[in-house]
Amino acid sequence: MKDLSTYVERLNAAFWTRVVTSTRQNTESISVFRIIYGLFLLTVWGPNYAWVSDMPQFYFDPPILSVANLFDDFPDQMLLLVVDFILVACALAITLGIRARIAGFAFLIFGIFATNFQFSFSKIDHNILVYATVACFSFSEWGTKLALVPDKPRANNWNEQALSILSIFVCFGFFAAGLEKGFWWTNFNMDKSGTARWLYDCFYGVRRQHLLASAAINSLPFWSYKILDFITVAFELSPIFFLIKSRLSWRGWLLATCSFHLINTMVLNISFSCNAIVYLAFIDYSRVYAYVSDSIRRRSLLFYGVGGLIVIALIARTKQILSMVPAEVIFIPKDNILGFLYFSIALWITVITVFILDFRFELLRSLRGHRHVSNDVAYQ
């Protein structure tokens, strides 16, 4: 029994060692990411919840394990308005580095609180990984550098744990989606296809008929959907294997995932745009840290450009919140579906470009590492 316990401990240690190796970033890198994350909250994905208070009490049916069960009805509008503006203040504090650790936890608590009511009438969103990201990084040192009011550095650095746990969240999310699909999609019944059902439901059911949707409906033979069923299930079940394989393979899987979302946006008109910031957490930004730090110190054009963008975003966010209308992207009205899809395409192409550059850097670093090892062996 003792031998079994020792074996399990070694296996667990080896697993987390591989995860840490695949995801490790230094404080400089995650400090740059903190600014990117905050700007994303301010300028792209801005959750607002005051509109929930206008829902009829008839729709109030929260899940069992929900803080919403402490209420008899949707909260008062003023309460949710206060929550919305607190979320904006937290996003601003994260961006500027004003006690980013506290701001991150506050954003998480108030965001999850409001989200409970959003889910109380069976509305399902896929933004949980955005909250998981801020939850993980709020334990890290992302607020100790490039910060207006920096957090106090701690003796125990949680940077590695933050990225490791976030990567497991990402893997679990995809695994859960792929496991359910696997039960229904992986068969050789050529008369049925999960991919085809998604495509036809989106096209005819909810009228998602933009971009390449019509071309996919009219051009692809039915047997190709069956192949896509197997590819999709294998892809969604695979991230954990790429994660523990190597740092380079994990980057490659993330690049493939961004491409997967781009295809979904163009064909199914489902963008998952909020996930972009989650994947960007794994990029190595240490190469641009000196440039960002110097731009802040010298008050360069980039500094004033970002500052102006923040001011414009704050005005837009205020208008969005007071309109009591849910929105996907701050600068695009919710009813402008085609505009949102074009924005999502531009977003995913940008993220893919960033990952290609990062993958290239990791590949070159890996090749240099192998070359040095080979030279050391030759000299021996």
Residue 109 has pLDDT above 90, yes or no: yes
pLDDT digits (tens, 9 = 90+) for 200-239: 888 888 888 888 988 888 888 888 989 999 999 999 999 9
What is the pLDDT, as a whole number, of residue 363?
87
Sorted by where each begins, the domain ranges of the chain are 2-379
CA torsion 224→242→28→159, rounded to 10°?
120
| Average pLDDT of span 25-30 | 94
Threshold 0.75, pTM exceeds: yes
Residue 139: burial class (beta carbons within 10 Å; 0-12, 13-18, 19+): middle
Residue that wins the pLDDT comparison between 194 and 1: 194
Residue written as tokens 């050391």? 376
Residue that wins the pLDDT comparison between 232 and 373: 232
Among 272, 323, 263, residue whose Cα is nearest residue 128: 272
Residue 157 has pLDDT above 90, yes or no: no
Give the whole-number percent of the chain exceeding pLDDT 70: 95
| Average pLDDT of span 118-147 | 87
Cα(199)–Cα(125) distance, integer angstroms: 19
Is the Cβ–Cβ distance between 87 and 47 less than 8 Å?
yes
What is the pLDDT, as a whole number, of residue 378?
46
Q: What share of the chain is helix, strand, coil (3-state, %, to 5)?
A: 75, 0, 25
| Sequence letter at residue 259 | S
| Residue 80 C-alpha from the chain's centroid | 24
| Average pLDDT of span 145-168 | 90
DSSP characters over 294-350? HHHHHT-HHHHHHHHHHHHHHHHHHHHHHTT---SBTTB-TT-HHHHHHHHHHHHHH
| Sequence letter at residue 40 | F
Residue written as tokens 């079940």? 237
Cα(273)–Cα(329) distance, integer angstroms: 9
Phi first, then psi, for residue 256 (nearest 5°) are: -65, -35
| Sequence letter at residue 65 | L
Among 211, 212, 263, 209, residue whose Cα is nearest residue 235: 263
| Average pLDDT of span 123-135 | 84
HSE toward the beta carbon, residue 284, CA cutoff 13 A:
21
Residue 329 has pLDDT above 80, yes or no: no
What is the pLDDT, as a whole number, of residue 237?
95
Q: What is the DSSP letter of 331?
A: T
